[in-house]
Every structure is written in C-alpha cells, then in structure tokens.
Amino acid sequence: MEASLENRALVRTGTTLQLRRNRFHPSAGTTHRMLRVGVCGTDLQIQRGARGDRARILGHEGIGLRLPDTDRETIPVCEIFDPVDRHDQDTILGHSYDGLLRDYFTSSSGHPYQVVVAQDLLPLDLAPLTEPLATALYGWELIGEHLRPPGRVAIFGAGSAALLLALTGERLGYRIELIQPRPERAQFLTGRSILGTAELRTHAAADSADGAIVCLPREAAHPALDSALTCLRPGGVLNLFGGIPAAFDHPDLPGVDLAAIRRRNVCGHTRGSASELVSTATGKPVWVTGHRGSSPQQLDAAQRLLIDDPARYGALVTHVISLEEAATRIPALAARDRARGEHIKVVIDPTMTEPTRPADIHTSVAQHLRQLR
C-alpha cells in the first residue's frame, strides 16, 4: 500500500462547507475508499444548524471499497455502512462523530459502526439508498403490528425518506397518501413518475387514515404532528419516522414522551413494547411507534429490493455529483435554495472528476470490483 494518500474531506464549520485536502497514512484500523455517499435530510438539518450534532464531516449513507490490510492479503470487497450503534443509539456515524464525505474513511477512531457486505448485483449508484430504504422497511414492520394492507396511510413529507416509505408501502399493498403542500414538488414527482398507486395530497382529511407517518425536518415536526393526529381515525397508528428531538412535547399528546417511544426500537431490537397506546388531548386513542437505525437483515432486504427494481428506485437519485460540487450544493440545499431546482436523493461520487452526471443504474458492485483487477 502507498505510504500516504490524498484524502479530501468536506469539512463543516457552522453553516459553511469546505473541501479540505489532507494526506493520510492508512496504518491502524480498516480503511475504506469511499465510492458513493448519499445526502440525507438529517445532513441538511445539521448543515443549516437545526440540529446540534457534533460531526464536522457529514455522511452516513455510503458504500466503500475496503482496502486490503497491510499485513495480510484480502479479497477486495465493497461494504455498506450501518451508522447507528445498537448499544448506544446516540452514537451515530456522521452525526455524533465524523462521517463519510471524504475520499478515505478509517475506523481507527474506535467508533463501533457496523458494515454489511454489498451484494454483487447492487448498482453502485443506488448503494446509498440501502440504509434509508432499510429504515423505511423497519418503519413498515412496526406499523404492520397494528395495521395490515390495504390500510390507508398518510405520509407527511416528500423528501427521499418519505418517498422510500411511499414506494415500499405501495409494494406491501397499503393505500398511500403523500401529504405535501408545494405544487412545484407535486409537479416534479408526477413528471418523474416516482409514485405508483400512492396519491399526492396537499392535506389529509380528519379521521381518514388508519396510519400516519411523520417524515419531515425538525422545524416542521410540530404542525406535522397536529395534522397527523387529526387525520388518524381512533385506534390508528402513528409512526414518528423523523424530526422528533429529545424531550419533544406536543400539546395534543399531553404527558407523552414521544422521543422515548421512538428510542425503544433500535436497529431491529425492541426494549419493552414496540409501540404505546396513548390518548390525544381530544380523547382519541392512537398507537405511537418509531425507531432508530436498522438491522443487518433489513439492510440485506433493502439491497435485494434495489437489485430487483433499479429503475424504480433509481428515479429517486436525481443528482450524482463530485465532492467539489457538493461543497457548494449541500449548503444551498440546506438553505432550501429553490433556484437550484428540485432534488430527491443526491449521491456524491468522490471518484469522479466531472461536477455532475446522471445516475447509472447498470454498473454493479461486481462490475466495479472486476474493473479494479
């Protein structure tokens, strides 16, 4: 192995982002050459200062080529990162410690992130969808304990996570309503034929849904929860998918610690019961559930879905960009600069030199590994 490698990293200071060039020596620990890294809604929230996470380098949805150990020869393998520590759910790659938006990631920091092996047929550009897709599958597993298809589920949000929930919910046979108010977004989603049976709505009718999923940034959590609780019929199930900070209080759910309910389900493991029956301020009973992370089984199931239907999931990858391009585009997305147009999943390819290119749903992990030989 070379003595030293150039390792560019996107380093965050406050709300700015800078591409810094360092050299590093891959000595102690396992090193991954980062191949693709996805930008997630939570990354944008951290970037604009809506969350207090400490990481200076963002990125938790990624695939890397594991470099051979210096002392023994290993067969090249691509691995997908599993960011949430199942033993300490507040330890999250790219949130509580520095993440993947760089050329090389080394595990020498002692943080216990996990990886799963990337399947041979997985399209490389879709690999960053694996982790968010696994969390969507987890969300449906929890909802499935209370609600079977073809129950009607309102999803609040229209970002990549909400759309992955919609696509997987449709596939399971639920009747999905995607609730989002912006006409430009609706037009964009229709134009790209993202949704199948799911219907786009600007709001959800009262007592109309058997299930509701809140999948919005933190700044929108309060009003979204109002709407979700209103649209649920008595006995319906609410999944707090995103946007719920610790000690989150909502006047419609007096005395309910929503963040604590969400923390019971971690990486496929449940402590106590997976959901709780609570009563709204108006006396409507609803089940509340939520989770953090995903399990290795869910990550493998997500890979299989991506392999089986690359065109469908590939439509979500609206941009593939270089690290240089990401230095300006991520802050613009974080500031919701609409002049840049609509985005769903932005994938960063640190190996490419051109600023942007369309998503490639054909080049698989196995093909990439073959090219290296």
Report whether the peptide linkage leading into residue 296 is cis, meaning its omega lies within 30 degrees of zero.
no
The sign of the torsion formed by the CA atoms of 3, 56, 268, 224 equals negative
When the beta carbons of 132 and 236 are compared against Zn ion, the nearer one is 132
- Tell me whether residue 40 or residue 143 sits nearer to Zn ion (CB atom): 40
CA-based end-to-end distance of the chain: 15
Please identify, using beta-carbon distances, which residue of 40 and 153 lies nearer to Zn ion.
Answer: 40
Q: In degrees rounded to 5, what are phi and psi of residue 223?
A: -60, -35
Contact 153, 213 (CB under 8 A): yes
Q: Does 58 bind Zn ion (CB under 5 A)?
A: no
In the complex, the smallest distance separating the C-beta of residue 74 from Zn ion, rounded to whole angstroms, is 29
- Give the total of residues touching Zn ion (CB under 5 A): 1
Give me the residue whose beta carbon is nearest to Zn ion: 40
Report the distance separating Cα 68 and Cα 183, nearest Å. Answer: 50
Contact set for Zn ion, span 5-44 (CB under 5 A): 40
Instruction: For strands 104-106 and 88-92, give the pairing.
Output: unpaired
What is the nearest approach in angstroms of Zn ion to the Cβ of residue 176? 21
Of 95, 131, 93, nearest to 110 by C-alpha is 93
Q: Which is nearer to Zn ion, 40 or 178 (CB)?
A: 40
- The kind and range of the H/E element at 116 are strand 114-117
317 interacts with Zn ion by CB under 5 A: no
Please say which residue, 38 or 151, places its beta carbon nearer to Zn ion.
Answer: 38
Of 106, 56, 116, give the one whose Cα is nearest residue 83. Answer: 116
Q: Least distance in Å: CB of 206 to Zn ion?
A: 31
Tell the smallest beta-carbon distance from residue 266 to Zn ion (Å).
Answer: 15
Q: Does 126 bind Zn ion (CB under 5 A)?
A: no
Min CB(283)–Zn ion separation in Å: 36
Question: How many Å is the Cα radius of gyration of the chain?
Answer: 20
Are the beta carbons of 10 and 330 closer than 8 angstroms? yes
CB of 234 to Zn ion, least distance (A): 33
Cβ proximity to Zn ion, 40 vs 344, nearer residue? 40
Site membership for Zn ion, residue 133 (CB under 5 A): no
**Where on the chain is the footprint of Zn ion (CB under 5 A)?**
40
